[in-house]
Chain A
Amino acid sequence: MFVGKDELINARKLTGQWLHNTRFNWLFMSVTFAFVFLGNIMTLFNYYSETSRGIRTHQIMDYSRPVAFGLVGALVIMMLLYKTTDTKCVMFPQTGTSRFLAEKARYYCLIGAAGLNLVVYYFVAYALIGLWGQIVGDTMFANRFSIGFTLAGLLAWLLYMSIVLETMLALRLFIMKFRILSAVGLVLLVLLTIIDFAAIESFGATAIGALILERGLGFFLLKGIALWVLLFALSMVINKISLQDQSSRSAKQVITDNVTLAITVVAALVFVIVFIPQSLDSRIPRNLVIPSEEAYELTIPEFDPGPNRFVMNLDASGIPRGSSITITTIDVVKANDATQSVPDSDYYPLPEIVTMLYTVQDEQALLNFTGNEIRLEYWLPTWETGGIDMTRYIQPRFSARLDGNTLCLEYQYTLTSNAFFLPMWSFMEQFDTFKEKGIFYESAMPLFYNTRGERGWILISVD
Chain B
Amino acid sequence: MIVLHIDYNSLKPIYIQIAEGIKNDILSGRLAEKGPVYSQLVLSKELGINPATAAKGINVLVQNGILEKQRGMSMVVAAGARSRLIAAKQDDDLHTLVAALVSAARKINLSEDRLLDMVQNRFTETAPKEGNEENE
Q: Do chains A and B touch in the complex (CB under 8 A)?
A: no
* B residues neighboring A (CB under 8 Å): none
By a beta-carbon cutoff of 8 Å, the part of chain A in contact with chain B is none
